[in-house]
């Protein structure tokens, strides 16, 4: 296995592995192709790469796009697509784009859909494999979720590669988040151990926007749009009652990007709580006192809470879900209880209206912007696969589509920098004061 253009800087290696030399003329009839030597130097912001080695450094990325010479004889290629992890707007659009481009432009022999995530490769689960054609994916984009189904949890990479070899699959497209990309890296390692010629292409999916070296993940724009609808409803509920409090819970296990962006989009939010910014409940700088001041002056308030916020205030269960993520405590239930206690002790009325739109947001079809984005991701994934690339994700960085090695995107999850100008703009929008010092812990028994 060889590598193509890129570079190594501060320990970050951006060169892309290939299955071998690309010698076959592309079936595409284009005026311009991307050469492997075509790279772009990008200096990434903290919102694009939460990796110290990348901060303030110009990194050289290989550009995505069609190559004049390809590795596979595309008319003989069998591909497979798998979707893993939680739902997100736009998954079906990516599937559709891959199938359409592979069939209509590269005339691939077959495109298989693996049902219910990586479980679909393991015989004991008994999930069917489906043939994906332009005809049966033509309306995928109309629906939310994933038409292939999904699942969480790891599967043994050797069993996955066994299945790929049994099915004579040449290229695997993996659509998923941080955990899926780590699984993809393990699958690539297993393929290399066997000296097989199977390409693995990742399309990064996370509604939380927490994948490194991806400016903004697909579905994020749709999620923010739907989140603002819920916040607007919470504002109406809050203003419709004396001392009304509208509380909205949004996705964001470890990263508060949706909560922050939705807050900026809709100026009705008075308090936004995110995992990256530990806050206090009690004391003069705590949430309860600030909320009391707000209600005494305006008689209504809106609080937006990312699901992973305030975990330092809860008793951790120590349990993890099937994907290895810590099981979160219900921060909103705790906040509602404490708010009621606080105002009751002061003989003040408080009317709390709680909205959790999480599963609605995850399940809706992508909006227009995300559909365009998903189309580019799917097309560029096919171009990379046919050129014999492997061990990479298709990423959009600063409006340019590039190839990023799996090892880079899986270094750590991206988090919002609370010392950045972006977070300062969020705080200015809400008018909330700092709650990350002083006060009591408010821990639940």
* CATH classification of the domain holding 266: 3.40.50.460
253 and 298 in a single domain? The answer is: yes
Phi, psi of 129 (to 5 degrees): -100, 135
232 and 87 together in one domain:
no
Q: Higher model confidence: residue 178 or residue 236?
A: 236
Task: Give the pLDDT score at 354.
Answer: 98
Are residues 313 and 343 both part of a single domain?
Answer: yes
Instruction: Please indicate, yes or no, if residue 273 is contained in any of the structural domains.
Output: yes
Banded model confidence at residue 317, pLDDT cuts 50, 70, 90: low
- Identify whether residues 33 and 123 lie together within a single domain: yes
For residue 445, pLDDT beyond 50: no
Torsion sign across C-alpha atoms 124, 362, 261, 277: negative
Residue labelled with tokens 């600063």: 398
On whether both 80 and 210 belong to a single domain, the answer is yes
- With a cut of 90, say whether residue 26 has pLDDT above it: yes
- What's the CA angle centered on 95, arms 148 and 135, to 5 degrees? 85
- pLDDT for position 397: 95
Bridge partners, residue 80, by sequence:
112, 172
Query: How do residues 129-151 score in pLDDT, each as one tens digit?
Result: 999 999 999 999 999 999 999 99
Q: Say how many domains are in the chain.
A: 2
Q: What is residue 5's predicted lDDT score, i.e. its pLDDT?
A: 62
Q: Which domain holds residue 43?
A: 2-217+366-409
Residues 61 and 210 occupy one common structural domain? yes
pLDDT at 443 over 60: no
Sign (positive or negative) of CA dihedral 37, 414, 251, 243: negative
What does the chain come to in residues? 445
Region 163-191: mean pLDDT is 97
Whether 243 and 344 share a structural domain = yes
Whether residue 382 is contained in a domain is answered as: yes
Is position 435 within any domain? no
The pair phi, psi for residue 6, each rounded to 5°, is 160, -140
pTM as predicted: 0.92
Question: What is the percentage of the chain residues whose pLDDT exceeds 70?
Answer: 94
| C-beta of residue 375 within 8 angstroms of C-beta of residue 396 | no
146 in the same domain as 19: yes
Tell me whether residue 444 is in a domain: no
Rounded CA-CA distance 444/328 in Å is 13
Please tell me the predicted confidence (pLDDT) of residue 442: 37
Q: Is 377 contained in some domain? A: yes
Nearest of 293, 297, 300, 294 to residue 240 by alpha carbon: 300
Q: Is the pLDDT of residue 441 over 80?
A: no
pLDDT band at 24 (very low <50, low <70, confident <90, very high): very high
Q: Which of these is catalytic: 36, 93, 101, 208?
A: 208
Instruction: Say yes or no to pLDDT of 323 above 80.
Output: no
One domain, residues 83 and 26: yes
Is 438 part of any domain? no
Q: Are residues 167 and 278 both part of a single domain? A: no
Please determine, for residue 444, whether its predicted confidence score (pLDDT) is greater than 60: no
Judge contact between 207 and 387, C-beta under 8 A: no
Q: What is the pLDDT of residue 440?
A: 38
Q: What is the pLDDT of residues 76-124, one digit of tens each?
A: 999 999 999 999 999 999 999 999 999 999 999 999 999 999 999 999 9
Residue 443 lies inside a defined structural domain of this protein: no
Task: Tell me which of 287 and 58 has the higher pLDDT.
Answer: 287
CATH (domain of 94): 3.40.50.450
Whole-number average pLDDT of the chain: 93
In a domain? residue 439: no
Question: Sheet holding 351-355: strands in order across?
Answer: 271-273, 300-306, 244-250, 351-355
pLDDT tens column, 50-80: 888 887 788 999 999 999 999 999 999 999 9
The answer to whether residues 19 and 135 belong to one domain is yes
**Token pair 């292939």 is at which residue?**
148
Are both 344 and 375 inside the same structural domain? no
Q: Is 208 a catalytic residue?
A: yes
Give Dmax (Cα) for the chain.
Answer: 79
């Amino acid at each position: 296995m060889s590598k193509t253009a890129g570079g190594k800087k501060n320990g970050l290696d951006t060169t892309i592995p290939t299955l071998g030399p690309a010698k076959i003329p592309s079936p595409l009839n284009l005026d311009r192709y991307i050469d492997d030597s075509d790279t772009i130097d990008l200096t990434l912001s903290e919102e694009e790469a939460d990796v110290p080695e990348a901060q303030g450094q110009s990194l050289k990325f290989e550009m995505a796009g069609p190559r004049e010479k390809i590795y596979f004889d595309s008319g003989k290629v069998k591909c497979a697509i798998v979707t893993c992890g939680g739902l997100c707007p736009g998954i079906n659009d990516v599937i559709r784009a891959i199938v359409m481009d592979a069939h209509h432009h590269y005339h691939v022999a077959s495109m298989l859909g693996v049902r219910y995530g990586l479980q679909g490769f393991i015989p004991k689960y008994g999930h069917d494999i489906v043939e994906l054609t332009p005809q049966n994916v033509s309306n995928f984009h109309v629906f939310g979720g994933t038409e292939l189904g999904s699942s969480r949890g790891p599967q043994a990479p050797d069993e996955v590669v066994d299945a790929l070899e049994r099915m004579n699959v040449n290229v695997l497209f993996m659509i998923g988040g941080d955990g899926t990309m780590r699984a993809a890296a393990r699958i690539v390692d297993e393929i290399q151990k066997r000296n097989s010629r199977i390409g693995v292409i990742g399309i990064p999916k996370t509604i939380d926007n927490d994948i490194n070296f991806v400016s903004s993940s697909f579905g994020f724009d749709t999620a923010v749009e739907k989140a603002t609808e819920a916040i607007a409803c919470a504002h109406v509920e809050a203003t419709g009652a004396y001392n009304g409090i509208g509380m909205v819970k949004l996705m964001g296990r470890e990263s508060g990007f949706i909560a922050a962006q939705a807050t900026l989009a809709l100026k009705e939010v008075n308090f936004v709580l995110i995992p990256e910014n530990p806050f206090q409940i009690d004391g003069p700088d705590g949430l309860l006192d600030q909320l009391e001041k707000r209600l005494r002056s305006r008689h209504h308030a809106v609080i937006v809470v990312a699901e992973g916020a305030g975990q330092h205030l809860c008793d951790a269960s120590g349990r993890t879900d099937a994907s290895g993520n810590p099981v979160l405590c219900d921060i909103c239930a705790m906040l509602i209880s404490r708010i009621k206690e606080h105002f009751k002790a002061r003989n003040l009325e408080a009317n709390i209206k709680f909205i959790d739109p999480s599963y609605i947001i995850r399940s809706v079809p992508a909006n227009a912007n995300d559909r365009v984005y998903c189309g580019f991701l799917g097309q560029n994934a096919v171009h990379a696969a046919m050129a014999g690339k492997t061990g990479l994700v298709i990423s959009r960085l600063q409006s340019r589509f590039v190839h990023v090695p799996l090892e880079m995107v899986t270094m750590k999850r991206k988090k919002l920098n609370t010392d950045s100008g972006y977070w300062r703009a969020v705080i200015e929008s809400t008018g909330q004061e700092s709650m990350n010092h002083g006060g009591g812990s408010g821990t639940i028994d």
